[in-house]
Structure 1
Amino acid sequence: MGGYQGFGKYRGIVSARAADESIRSVAQDGGTVTALLCFALETGDIDGAVLTRKADERWTPGQLVATTEREIRESAGSVYALSPSVFQLKEAAREMALEKIAYVGLPCQVVAVRKMQLYPFGGRYVGDKVRYVIGIFCSENFPPESLRNIVEGYAGTPIEKMRKMYLAKGKFNVASDGEIRQVSVKKASHWAQDGDHVCPDLVAEYADISVGSIGSEPGWNTVFLRTRRGEDLFNRARDQGRIETKDMETVQPGLKTLEKLAVAKKANAKEAIAKREQMGLYVTRDMYY
C-alpha cells in the first residue's frame, strides 16, 4: 500500500479494533492500543507502559506507569490536554527498574523519545529500556485550562459532566449524559498550545505503531505498522484473536481523507515557521522533518 503523501515510512496500514467488547466499551474508538498493551504485558513483551489518563473529574491529565492489565484498561480513552508523560520514563526505568517499557504518546512526544534513544545524555539508561513506542494521531492539543474553556465556555457543558471528547468532521464534540454538543475545530484551535502551529506531524511518523481514528469507520482505528518490531507485536496479537482487522482500502472515508489532513498539517507548519522567521522569532528548524 503506497502512493500516499504525508504519512512517513510504514510497512503496512490496516483498520483495526480490539476483539474484546469490554475494552471497546471504554475506549476512545476501537481500543486497539489498550488491546495491544494488555497482550504485550501478558506475553512478557513489556513489563510496564507509560500512559496518560484522566486524573480527576475536571479532566486534568495524569501520568501513569501501568504494570497491570487493570491499570492499562483504566487508562483507556483520550484526554485532549497537555501531559508531560515523557518524564515518567525515568520513573519507570530508574525507580521501578522496568526493563521492557511501552510508551504511548503524541507525535511530538514520540520524537522526544526517539531523540532520547539517539542522544541519551539526560536520559541515560532510560531510552534503551523502551521496547515499543506507540504514537497517537494529533492535529492539536490544549493546555488544561484551555480545554475547560472550550468545554464550558463554548460547548456550555460543565466539564465534570463530560463523559468523552473527540474530533470528527471538523467538530470538537463534547459528550455528556444524553447529549453531544459541538464546537467548530476552527474556533477551538485558538486555544491550542502554541507549538501545535509549527508541528508538521499528524500521524506519529517515528513510532513503531501509529494509531488514530481518521479514515476508519466509527468504532475502528486506523493503524500504521512502521517498524518490524511494531509489526511483529501487532501480527501476533491479531493471530491470537486479540485484534480484529479490515483491509484499509475497503473502508470509508478511507486514507484519502487522512492524507489530505496530514499534507495540510505539514503545509500549515511550514507556513507558520516561515512567518515566525520573518518576525525574527526563534524556530527549531529540525521540527520540520
Structure 2
Amino acid sequence: MSAVPATPHAEGNHVEFSSADERPASGGSGDGCGCGSACGCGGTARAEAVADGGATPANVDSEGTLGDLTFTEPKADASQDVDDGAPAERVGVPDGVELDTPGYSIRAEMNDIETPDEKTWFMELDEAVIGDDRCIQCGTCVAACPSDSIGIGDDGLPKLVKMCTGCSLCWDFCPRGGLRYERQWKITGGEDNASGAGDPITEFSATVEEGWRENAQDGGVVTSILIHLLEAGEIDGALIATESEEDPWRAESFLATTPEELIENAGSFYNQTMALGNLDIGQWEDELPNEDPEDLSLALVGTPCEIEGIRALRDFEWDYASQEAGVRAVEYTIALMCTKNFNYERLIGEQLQEKRGIDPAEIGKLDVLHGEMMAYGHGGELMVEEDVEDFHDAALKGCDECADFTGYCADLTVGSVGSSEEYSSVIVRTKKGLDAWELAAPDLDYHDLEDRSAIGGLQSWDKKKAFESLERPFDPDAPRFIDYTDHADRYDTERNPHEADH
C-alpha cells in the first residue's frame, strides 16, 4: 500500500496562527478579557468571560477554558431533543396546498408538542442570518430541508428555490441560527466520548515524505488518511473541494473516489463550498456509477461548523429528501483547525486582484501561517505576505461567533498550529478516528504533538472572540435548539419577516 498524502482542498479556509503570541489582538475591550495571557492581553485582564447576551457562560472558567465535555442531561423540561413516538397528524399545511413532505410533523415532534405555537420559515433564516451577513456557508440548511425548497444561489449563499413549507428545520440546524453548537459538542461526545467530541484520545505531529506534496498544506496527512480509507474499503469516496473551472481559486465541492483525485486536489482554498448542500448523491452519479446510495460510506473534510452541522443532522431520523442518502453516508469526519473563513469575491476579487493587483490565475498556492496571508506564484515565488488582519473585510462575519477552533465534533482534527513547518498537528477524538489514523500511521513520519500550548492558546483566543461577538449566552448545558423569537430578541431582528413586505 503506497503512501500518498496531502491535505485536500478544504471546504473553506482554516486560518490559524502558529502560536498564541502570533494571533491578532482581540477587537474587544481589554477589561472584558476572559482568556488570560493566551489572548495577547499579557495576563492583565482577568474579568470573567461573559457573552454580549449578558449571561455568564456555563462550563467555562474565568480564563475562557471549557470544562468537562462529557455528556450531561439538559435542564429539566428544557430539552428540545427528539423523544420517541410521532405526532398524531401533520399540522399547519396551508389551505389548497398539497405537499408530500414531513416538515410540519418534524417540527412538532422536535419540540415535544403536537402542534407548534409558531412555525419558522426560510424568511426568518434569511432575515437573521443570510441577510444579516452572518451566514458561514456551511450548507446545513440545504441538507436539512425535507422538501428540497432551499438551493445554492450564484453568490454561494442559500436561496429559496420553491415554496417554503414552514417546517423550521433550516432554522433549527443552522449553526448561526437555531442550533446551539456548543450543546452539540456534548451531545455528540456521549458519556465516554466514544462517538465523537470532547477530549482527545491521542495527538501527533505528522508528515508525509512524498515529492507530490509540494502543493499540499502542512504535512499532507488528511489525504494520506483518506487514501488509506479508500484502499481499505472503509469509504467509497470523500467530499472535499476542487477548483472551479471558470473562476481561479473558487472552491467547489467535489466527491473524490480515487487516490489520484485526492492527490490532484491537494492544497487548501480559502472560501467555503456550501459542502453540506452538496450531499445529493444524484449529482455524483458519474463518480459512483455502480454504487447503491443506501450502502455508501463517505468521509467529509470540512470546517468545525460543517462537522457540527452533519453531526446534528445525523442525530435525527428524518427524511432529508434529495440529501438523505448523502447525510446518512457520512461515516468519517475530519475537521480543519479554523478561526475564520473568507468570501470568495471579497478575498480573491477585491483584496488580491483589485487592491493588490494580483491576477488570480497567476496564484499557485495560498497559505495562512504565523498570522500572515501568503500567496505564491506557480514557480514558488512569494507574491504577497501580509498580516491576515489586513484581509479582515473579506472574512465571513459569522465566523466571529464560533468558539470551535479545533472541531470538537470531528473524528479527527488536522491543522498546522502546534507543529513545526511541513508537519501537521493531528488530534484523534474518537474510536473511528483512531482506526483511520492507524491505517495511515505506518506510512507517516510522526511523533508526539510538539506544542499543545499553542493549540490551547489559540482555542482560548477563539472562545474569547466568540464570547464578545455572541449576542446570546454561551451554554453547553442549554437546549440544543434556540427558538427564532428568542434569537430575534437577542439580535434585534424582525420577529415576523414572513409577514412583512420583503
Match 1:133 to one of 330, 333, 336: 333
Tell me whether 1:274 sits opposite 2:274 in the alignment: no
Write out aligned runs for 1:1-289 (5 A): 5=65, 8-19=198-209, 21-56=210-245, 58-91=248-281, 96=288, 97=293, 99-121=296-318, 122=320, 123-148=323-348, 149-176=350-377, 177=379, 178-238=381-441, 241-248=442-449, 251=450, 254-274=451-471, 280-281=492-493
Question: Which string of whole-angstrom CA distances, capped at 9 and with x for unpartnered residues, describes residues 205-241 of structure 1?
Answer: 1110110111111111000001001111101221xx3
Q: State whether residues 304 and 405 of structure 2, in contact with CA within 8 Å, keep that contact through their aligned partners in structure 1.
A: yes
Amino acid at match of 1:112: G
Which structure 1 residue ranges, 5 or more long, are not aligned? 283-289
Q: State whether residues 17 and 245 of structure 1, in contact with CA within 8 Å, keep that contact through their aligned partners in structure 2.
A: yes
What displacement does 1:201 show? 1.1
Which structure 2 residue ranges, 5 or more long, are not aligned? 1-63, 67-196, 473-486, 495-502
In 1, Cα distance between equivalents of 2:272 and 2:303: 10
In 1, Cα distance between equivalents of 2:228 and 2:222: 10
Q: State whether residues 203 and 427 of structure 2, in contact with CA within 8 Å, keep that contact through their aligned partners in structure 1.
A: yes
Match of 1:285 in 2: none
Amino acid at match of 1:132: Y
Question: Which string of whole-angstrom CA distances, capped at 9 and with x for unpartnered residues, describes residues 2-24 of structure 1?
Answer: xx9569421111001124x0342
Q: Structure 1 or 2: larger strand share?
A: 1
**Are residues 278 and 49 of structure 1, via their aligned partners in 2, closer, same or farther at CA, if it must alter by over 3 Å?**
closer
**Are residues 89 and 242 of structure 1, via their aligned partners in 2, closer, same or farther at CA, if it must alter by over 3 Å?**
farther
Amino acid at match of 2:265: S
Question: Which string of whole-angstrom CA distances, capped at 9 and with x for unpartnered residues, describes residues 36-94 of structure 1?
Answer: 11111111011111111222462111111111111111121100012111122222798
In 2, Cα distance between equivalents of 1:227 and 1:211: 14
**Are residues 273 and 87 of structure 1, via their aligned partners in 2, closer, same or farther at CA, if it must alter by over 3 Å?**
same
Amino acid at match of 1:225: V
In 1, Cα distance between equivalents of 2:392 and 2:198: 25
Q: State whether residues 93 and 99 of structure 1, in contact with CA within 8 Å, keep that contact through their aligned partners in structure 2.
A: no
TM-score by length of 1: 0.86
Amino acid at match of 2:306: Q
In 1, Cα distance between equivalents of 2:438 and 2:338: 24
**Are residues 26 and 92 of structure 1, via their aligned partners in 2, closer, same or farther at CA, if it must alter by over 3 Å?**
farther
In 1, Cα distance between equivalents of 2:462 and 2:444: 30
In 2, Cα distance between equivalents of 1:223 and 1:92: 33
SS in 1 for 2:279: helix
**Are residues 27 and 262 of structure 1, via their aligned partners in 2, closer, same or farther at CA, if it must alter by over 3 Å?**
same
SS in 2 for 1:246: strand
In 2, Cα distance between equivalents of 1:66 and 1:87: 16
SS in 2 for 1:142: coil
Q: State whether residues 135 and 209 of structure 1, in contact with CA within 8 Å, keep that contact through their aligned partners in structure 2.
A: yes
TM-score by length of 2: 0.51
**Are residues 30 and 157 of structure 1, via their aligned partners in 2, closer, same or farther at CA, if it must alter by over 3 Å?**
same
Taking only the aligned residue pairs, the percentage that are identical comes to 26
CA RMSD of aligned residues (A): 2.4
Amino acid at match of 2:238: A
**Are residues 102 and 280 of structure 1, via their aligned partners in 2, closer, same or farther at CA, if it must alter by over 3 Å?**
same
Amino acid at match of 2:370: K
What displacement does 1:160 show? 1.1
SS in 2 for 1:267: helix
**Are residues 231 and 154 of structure 1, via their aligned partners in 2, closer, same or farther at CA, if it must alter by over 3 Å?**
farther
In 2, Cα distance between equivalents of 1:221 and 1:195: 27
Match of 2:147 in 1: none
Determine which structure has more spread, i.e. the larger CA radius of gyration: 2
Q: State whether residues 120 and 127 of structure 1, in contact with CA within 8 Å, keep that contact through their aligned partners in structure 2.
A: no
Q: State whether residues 53 and 77 of structure 1, in contact with CA within 8 Å, keep that contact through their aligned partners in structure 2.
A: no
Q: State whether residues 255 and 284 of structure 2, in contact with CA within 8 Å, keep that contact through their aligned partners in structure 1.
A: no
In 1, Cα distance between equivalents of 2:463 and 2:208: 31
Amino acid at match of 1:206: C
In 2, Cα distance between equivalents of 1:269 and 1:73: 35
SS in 2 for 1:232: helix
Matched length: 272
